[in-house]
Structure 1
Amino acid sequence: MMKSPTIFSFTPSLMNPADLESIFVQREAIAADLVDRIRESVLTPTKHHSLIIGARGMGKTHLVSLVYHRVQAMADLKERILIAWLREEEWGITSFLKLLLRILRAIDPLDPAIQQRIEALYELSPAEAEQSAMSLLTEIIGDRTLLLITENLDDLFKGLGDRGQQQLRAFLQNSGCCTILATAPRLFNGVQSRNKPLYGFFRPVRLQELTAAEAVQLLIRIASLREQTELVDFLKTPMGKARVQAVEHLAGGNPRIYVIFAEFLSRESLEELVQPFMALLDALTPYYQSRMQYLSSQQREIVEFLCDRKYPATVKDIAQRCFITSQTTSSQLKELKEKGYVNVESIGRESFYALKEPLMRICLGMKKERDGTLKFMVDFLRAWYSKDELDMLHQRISDGFVHKHLELALQESNINEKDPRVAICLDLIKSCYDLGLLDDELQYIQKLTTIRGTGEDWVKQASCQLRLEQLKEALISCDNALAIEIGNCNAWYLRGCCLGMLNRYKEEATSYIQAIFYQPDFYNAYYNLGIALVSLGHYEEAISSYDMAIRFKPDFPQAWNNRGTAFARLDHYEDALTCIEKAIKIDPNYVDALGSQAEILLGMNRWNEGSEAIKNVLNLFQKTNKSYSGDAYLILNGLLSQDSSQWQSRITDLINWFDPFPTAVTNGLVSACKKLISPLISDTTATLWHDTWHELTHQLPEYQLPLRLLTTALHYKQKPDDPRVWMELSIEERKILQQALGIDSVAPRD
């Protein structure tokens, strides 16, 4: 039976300590540091006072509860510490006396002797009661340390006033027996103003919002705690990741909202999602309404304006619509940002303000709905489902309440460009692209994915990351695009490009096949698929893929060239030359094709003709300061089958010709090892090939690795069943040779 422990979103202090630990993320270092500071306060004369800063819902009470239980569980502190944990809202504390009374009651509310002595205090005058309460507290503490835990310290200080704060300071300094762990939604004058009594007493500890990865970790831990194995698996799927992104949008990094939404993530059916979600919003509305009570009238007006507005607004827009000056608006927005109500985002020279939690706008907007159209439901659907999913659901659900809101959500998805930030981002992205400022371009694309986050936006990001060779990041961007739109052929294509650069050729080929599935005339995908298949040694399939690229783009010189080199790798040199000649006819200045033509001529033993051609091509590459694009494999593959009496002179020619580009020959030499171990080449011929290369290149530094690989390939040919031959190479070198030979492992051959 599924375990269902209660997770209290608003009062985590009621939770089981083990459950608190099991869903704790991000803040382990903070928790450990707080415990260490409390421990030092108990065991030494040094007393620390810590203030945890975080907006409402950021997990302050969860952290405090966890620290409380850890300290309470320390056996060596049991006889040396007293803990007084005040209630989260202590509205009745309006003087130092009342603070003392609350502390006394919190120390041991079940001890009748203490409670009787507390009751006796009410028979005294306030001044007498205060002195007696202080004496009683000091007596109860004795030689122990009091850990005072108080939440919402800002409200407590407001109730105490300056006089009460002065008395608290005097008590802390004179008694030397108290350490405080407190929380507040933000820093306030009572602790940061130099003219306040307790200035400098507290070390602030700021809580950060959860990142997307930390949110996933939290949700997985909640699911694991509830033994929801299917949900744990679901969170790792593209749809699960998309759901987490939706919650991230709605929650604004607020851990409390992630906890609340954990129940909804795996609900696949829209019908089973809508009603529970509406009930949740109804339950959350009082929470957000209560948060409005903490704001001034001008701040409420600004928040209300941002609730009604779909997109972030500039200071000028807010000031104009609220009929207040820009200076006042800026001041109020600064306070709202410090309190955790709004976010500010700079794009170019503009700053845009928006509610930190879009869910707040949705909940507060519920009270305004009068026309039967629930705008909050439209907002939720747009956040929760991709455009493709909305379209599919709209077609499946043909009428009724849900259909109406799906239709509105689809309409709004199509006009998302109304957000003024989108146009600014697009202009800046284009400018950076034109100027070649890749890092800046990526920065603005990342803003665009945060603002709008369509599949195409993620594709833009993947493309820029690919150009920056941020391959793993580009793969994640491709996956994000596909989570939104599985049929995005450009995302599949770029994914293939990333995998190819990571030498993951099988996955690369699969990605191109998917791109072609969704766009059958995608000639670049066919072309790149051919390249991947060549890397896998599947030359005939590669030729078929190049055929399809040419079918959809007949004047595609690169496809003709690669088709030719694939034929050459099958020793079909005449077919290869025909393809290369077509590539050159399309583009007479295509140096890669000219190089392929020269290599094939040399591989065909047309040495005089080929030697002039290759020297001309290499000169062209030198003049343009470009690296040679070939690898001399076609030359060496052919040379291996030619008269061995000519090897020494011809290998010497190759070494001299390619002196500016030695890697072309070294790479070709390694690639040719596959033919070397084939039955077509005798052991005697293979040994002579090996010895010739060693004689001519053993003193050249750049040839040392290829020579080691060549030696191991020869030994493998001679003793295929002896695994000791591989011990001559390092693990990385084995992988290189293994790939060149086209074998899956270094185990003996069949």
Structure 2
Amino acid sequence: MNESAFLSVFTPSRTAPEDLEAIFVQRHALLADAVERVRESAGSGHKHHLLFVGPRGTGKSHLLTLLVHRAGSDESLQQSLRIAWLNEDETSTTLLELLRRIYLALSKRYPGDYRADDLEPIYDLDAEAAERLLASLLLEKQAGKTLLVALENLDALFEGLGKTGQQRLRAFIQEHPVMTIVATAQRLVDDVSKRNSTFFGFFQTEMLAMLSVEEAAELLGKIAALNRQDKAAAFLRSPTGRSRVRALHHLSGGNHRVYLVLSQFITGDNINALVDPFAKMVDEMTPYYQERIRWLPPQQRKIVEFLCSRERPTPVKDMARHLFASQQTISSQLKDLRAKGYVQSAQRGRESLYEIAEPLMRICVEIKENQTPGPLRLLVDFLRVWYDGVQLDERLSACGEGSLARHYLQAAIDRNSVWGNLRAQLLVEDFRSELNDEQREQWMSLIESTVKLSEELALACGELAKGNHELGMRYLEEICRETDKYSQPVIEAAYAIAAITYFEFNRIEAGMLMVERLLELPNASGDLVSIALNRRGTIYEELSMPEKALKDYSHVIEFGDVAPEQTAKALLQRGRIKGQMGEIEEALRDFNSVGELHDVSPDLISRAHYSRGIALRLLGDFADAIAANTTAIEFPEKSPETLANALYNRGLLYSMTDRLEDAERDYATILTIDNLPDDLSTDAHFALALVNFMLGRWNVGMARLADGLGQLTAKSQPEEVLFTAMVAFVYASSLTTAARKQRIAELAQVFEQHHASTYLGEALIHHLGSIHRDPNETPSPDNLEQWCVAWEAAGTNSEALKLPLRLLRTGTDFLKAGAQDRSVLLDLNQEERQILVQTFGLGED
């Protein structure tokens, strides 16, 4: 077994500096900045004074020890800097006593330059003369050098010095600018923070935060690495290890000292080795926390003592009830306690829940309240977090009768039987407090459900919810690799969530692979599986692979034991694809099936109705199609997009049945809907333009067309059939040749002004094909020629229309010649000829 490094829990200076460096976390930038300020103080007349503030156990001593070590070992400072590191347990009530402590600290570090015997003369003088002599002695020895005074508990020093002593110290520092102070304090006292205090604005103050989950995991991992405990380090990096650390973080409150104690157990897994140092830490910190509680006013003290006795975060109404006070009174006191750092709060809906900010305060109060000795609750809860039920039973059976370890293990088992899985509860509570409203809405139900299957799976979901996608995916991928460690429901969920996340970040190939692995599992089904399949179906559609998309949607529909919402989505998508394939009756059956499902969102039901409307229109049943779209429009709680689509489809049906005023009203209503996708808004403008053309309102229609073209963006995908319909309307109009030429010129101009001539060119070619395919029309060669000449004149100066007009000219000549002589198409190059071949449906030679 490797011998572990000695890591002092209470006195970091007793630990080797290189070991402190090895386990240092969280404050690298802060330490580097502090050392640089000391270096600047030693090299110039400008002296920096630093103060680090934080409760006990937050790593202040660790930080100060490393600062002294780095400054003391910096070769560039050997001649210009002297360091006096004061004993934190000594008391100074006068400047004389403080200067004496500084001198003695220097004599220990530099015995050749600062001999303790040199102090003997001051003991024969009165205090004032002794102070002058000692100050003179210090200044003489400091000639040309800067004195770094490193001290802890600045708050205690200032309390001992009192106002007079503080004033004399400040005067000494100002009159003799040779000193730079780096200090720590457990709280930001009035002697530093109040405007009328002697040292207000004197220190550059840094408030030290507790460890985050990531920093705690890093600290434990570094301790394991320092002790060459590779298995422990690997475990801490694993999803299981990280989930344990996350749950443990809830108990420790991010306290460095707690983690330092617990690391002895985590890396050694010896319960007996944990109890003694933990109890020692509690004994050492209990007086401090008792004193902090005594500082509080009586009402606040009662609140803190009450919260120390609670198992879980507590709402204000419960505190008010137990403390016989009004909720307003308790809320007011809690606001002050939160500002002082005693309590912290989290939201559950509209309710605020409060708990003690420092778990060690709770356990120290618990110790004093117990009349008879018993297991420390925090230590018991640690065992509940670190072991599952089976592991607790195994360790209990291996413990000797009457041992302290057995006492704690039994207490952990007993509490589990009453309170359930603490680790799962803490993981859920932790993420609930960390996520914002939107993240909670999207992820909390999944986290709560997956934690019942696997803490590692819940941890992965939590990290994904927070936006830590790389870390969350790493955890998922580890689960997917180690399938022998988990049950099939866990593997199914991991594959499905991984697939969904890969698709979200456009890692299509990886997502496809995960779905394939998912489907290889026997009888794989469930909500997450259906979501992954539905998502892959949409990917297949985007890749123009409708047959594969249909297979995925059908798979979901056949499950039978998934959320109706997913079944409804699959039915809608499958029906839409079948409709595109011309299988209208089958598409209609799918849309009808959505309406037969229960517990489906109103928006999906509304979408099913307007999709029915599309299918019925294609079947020629216009009356029922209008009714279906009307149902969709009137259905409650639908999305803006669904409402707009239903209005658009009904407007189209009204247009087809000569109810143009009704169509105009539906299209105009679309433009009043908030939060509408741009494409739907522009299409409504184009539809309104077409309807107004048909109503004989050419100028109104042109204004609507201009509005729509003005909203087009580079990503727009307007409904091109609308432009083709506009071209067809002008072609079929009974206008004079001159009037039609004028309108063609106006159309060309408005498209060119809005840089949209490409759409117009495509519409011209599509219309040319429709002329050829219309069995009821035998186009007049003269009419075709006038049509083509008008467009050629209108598009003379349009670069975007050059190719379409070339195609229009050759296509017109082909139709004028009876659409039989393909040699006419030889006026175009091969690529351009192919466009017309497809447009006219001529097939290959």
Same fold (TM over 0.5): yes
CA contact (8 A) 1:49 1:179 kept: yes
CA contact (8 A) 1:391 1:410 kept: no
The number of equivalent residue pairs is 606
Cα separation, 2, equivalents of 1:211 and 1:325 = 35
Corresponding residue number in structure 2 for 1:12:
12
Cα separation, 2, equivalents of 1:412 and 1:659 = 69
Corresponding residue number in structure 2 for 1:164:
165
Quote how far apart the aligned CAs of 1:81 are. 1.4
Cα separation, 1, equivalents of 2:390 and 2:521 = 20
Query: Equivalent residues in 2 for 1:146-225 (5 A)?
Result: 146-225=147-226
CA contact (8 A) 2:282 2:360 kept: no
CA contact (8 A) 2:496 2:515 kept: yes
CA contact (8 A) 2:572 2:594 kept: no
1:76 and 2:82 matched:
no
CA contact (8 A) 1:82 1:107 kept: yes
SS at match of 1:51: strand
Quote how far apart the aligned CAs of 1:539 are. 8.8
Query: Equivalent residues in 2 for 1:334-353 (5 A)?
Result: 340-345=341-346, 351-353=352-354
CA deviations over 1:684-723 (Å, ceiling 9, x no partner): xxxxxxxxxxxxxx9599x9xxxxxxxxxxxxxxxxxxxx
Q: 1:552 to 1:474 in 2, by over 3 A?
A: farther
Corresponding residue number in structure 1 for 2:34:
34
Q: 1:256 to 1:372 in 2, by over 3 A?
A: closer
CA contact (8 A) 1:251 1:359 kept: yes
1:291 and 2:288 matched:
yes
Cα separation, 1, equivalents of 2:6 and 2:287 = 24
Quote how far apart the aligned CAs of 1:357 are. 2.8
Structure 1 letter corresponding to 2:175:
N
Structure 1 letter corresponding to 2:107:
D
Quote how far apart the aligned CAs of 1:98 are. 0.8
Q: 1:450 to 1:129 in 2, by over 3 A?
A: farther
Corresponding residue number in structure 2 for 1:119:
120
Quote how far apart the aligned CAs of 1:181 are. 0.8
Quote how far apart the aligned CAs of 1:138 are. 1.3
CA deviations over 1:114-152 (Å, ceiling 9, x no partner): 211113322222222222111111111112111111111
CA contact (8 A) 1:11 1:61 kept: yes
Corresponding residue number in structure 2 for 1:379:
381
CA deviations over 1:475-498 (Å, ceiling 9, x no partner): 579969999998567776555433
**TM-score of the pair, normalised by structure 2:** 0.58
Structure 1 letter corresponding to 2:139:
T
Quote how far apart the aligned CAs of 1:274 are. 4.3
CA contact (8 A) 2:462 2:472 kept: no
1:86 and 2:86 matched:
yes
Cα separation, 2, equivalents of 1:464 and 1:352 = 21
Cα separation, 1, equivalents of 2:276 and 2:70 = 36
CA contact (8 A) 1:22 1:221 kept: yes
Q: 1:26 to 1:445 in 2, by over 3 A?
A: farther
Corresponding residue number in structure 1 for 2:730:
none
Cα separation, 1, equivalents of 2:415 and 2:81 = 60
Q: Which deviates more from structure 2 when the two are superposed, residues 234-243 or residues 299-308?
A: 299-308
Cα separation, 2, equivalents of 1:321 and 1:548 = 56
Quote how far apart the aligned CAs of 1:171 are. 0.6
Q: 1:372 to 1:107 in 2, by over 3 A?
A: closer
SS at match of 1:179: strand
Query: Equivalent residues in 2 for 1:582-593 (5 A)?
Result: 582-586=589-593, 589=608
Calculate percent identity across the aligned residue pairs: 32
Cα separation, 2, equivalents of 1:495 and 1:179 = 55
Q: 1:362 to 1:454 in 2, by over 3 A?
A: farther
Cα separation, 2, equivalents of 1:410 and 1:173 = 65
Cα separation, 1, equivalents of 2:89 and 2:283 = 17
Quote how far apart the aligned CAs of 1:158 are. 0.8
Corresponding residue number in structure 2 for 1:97:
96
Corresponding residue number in structure 2 for 1:472:
469
Quote how far apart the aligned CAs of 1:544 are. 6.3
Q: 1:138 to 1:18 in 2, by over 3 A?
A: same
Q: 1:142 to 1:495 in 2, by over 3 A?
A: same
Q: Which deviates more from structure 2 when the two are superposed, residues 5-14 or residues 343-352?
A: 343-352
CA deviations over 1:207-262 (Å, ceiling 9, x no partner): 22222222223233222222333233222211011111022112212222223323
CA contact (8 A) 1:455 1:485 kept: no
CA deviations over 1:78-134 (Å, ceiling 9, x no partner): 11111111012223x121111111011011226276211113322222222222111
Corresponding residue number in structure 2 for 1:503:
506
CA contact (8 A) 2:610 2:649 kept: no
Cα separation, 1, equivalents of 2:575 and 2:493 = 27
Q: Which has the higher contact order (CA 8 A, sep 6+)?
A: 1
Structure 2: 5+ residue stretches without partners: 399-405, 596-607, 619-647, 654-665, 671-675, 681-718, 726-758, 760-798, 805-845
Cα separation, 2, equivalents of 1:452 and 1:302 = 34
Cα separation, 2, equivalents of 1:199 and 1:124 = 33
Corresponding residue number in structure 1 for 2:711:
none
CA deviations over 1:393-433 (Å, ceiling 9, x no partner): 669978986466324324313799999x99xx99xx9xxxx
Cα separation, 2, equivalents of 1:525 and 1:414 = 27
SS at match of 1:118: helix
Structure 2 letter corresponding to 1:292:
Y
Q: 1:591 to 1:470 in 2, by over 3 A?
A: farther
Corresponding residue number in structure 1 for 2:707:
none
Query: Equivalent residues in 2 for 1:682-697 (5 A)?
Result: none
Quote how far apart the aligned CAs of 1:373 are. 7.3
Cα separation, 2, equivalents of 1:310 and 1:534 = 47
Structure 2 letter corresponding to 1:256:
R
Query: Equivalent residues in 2 for 1:390-405 (5 A)?
Result: 390=389, 402=409, 405=412
CA contact (8 A) 2:477 2:498 kept: no
Query: Equivalent residues in 2 for 1:226-245 (5 A)?
Result: 226-245=227-246
1:525 and 2:529 matched:
yes
Q: 1:558 to 1:169 in 2, by over 3 A?
A: closer
Quote how far apart the aligned CAs of 1:310 are. 1.4
Structure 1 letter corresponding to 2:143:
G
Q: 1:95 to 1:444 in 2, by over 3 A?
A: farther
Corresponding residue number in structure 2 for 1:735:
none
Cα separation, 1, equivalents of 2:333 and 2:569 = 61
SS at match of 2:249: helix
Q: Give the greater-gyration-radius structure (CA).
A: 2
Structure 2 letter corresponding to 1:525:
V
CA contact (8 A) 2:81 2:145 kept: yes
Q: 1:451 to 1:74 in 2, by over 3 A?
A: farther
Structure 2 letter corresponding to 1:289:
T
Structure 2 letter corresponding to 1:379:
D
Cα separation, 2, equivalents of 1:130 and 1:481 = 67
Cα separation, 2, equivalents of 1:527 and 1:449 = 13
Corresponding residue number in structure 1 for 2:661:
none
Corresponding residue number in structure 1 for 2:559:
552
Quote how far apart the aligned CAs of 1:550 are. 3.0
Q: 1:160 to 1:347 in 2, by over 3 A?
A: farther
CA contact (8 A) 2:261 2:278 kept: no
SS at match of 1:408: helix
CA deviations over 1:157-183 (Å, ceiling 9, x no partner): 111111111111111111111111111
CA deviations over 1:652-673 (Å, ceiling 9, x no partner): xx9657989xxxxx9xxxxxxx
Quote how far apart the aligned CAs of 1:301 are. 5.3
Q: 1:294 to 1:176 in 2, by over 3 A?
A: same
Corresponding residue number in structure 1 for 2:658:
none
Structure 2 letter corresponding to 1:99:
L
Quote how far apart the aligned CAs of 1:461 are. 11
CA deviations over 1:420-454 (Å, ceiling 9, x no partner): x99xx99xx9xxxxxxxx96454689999999996
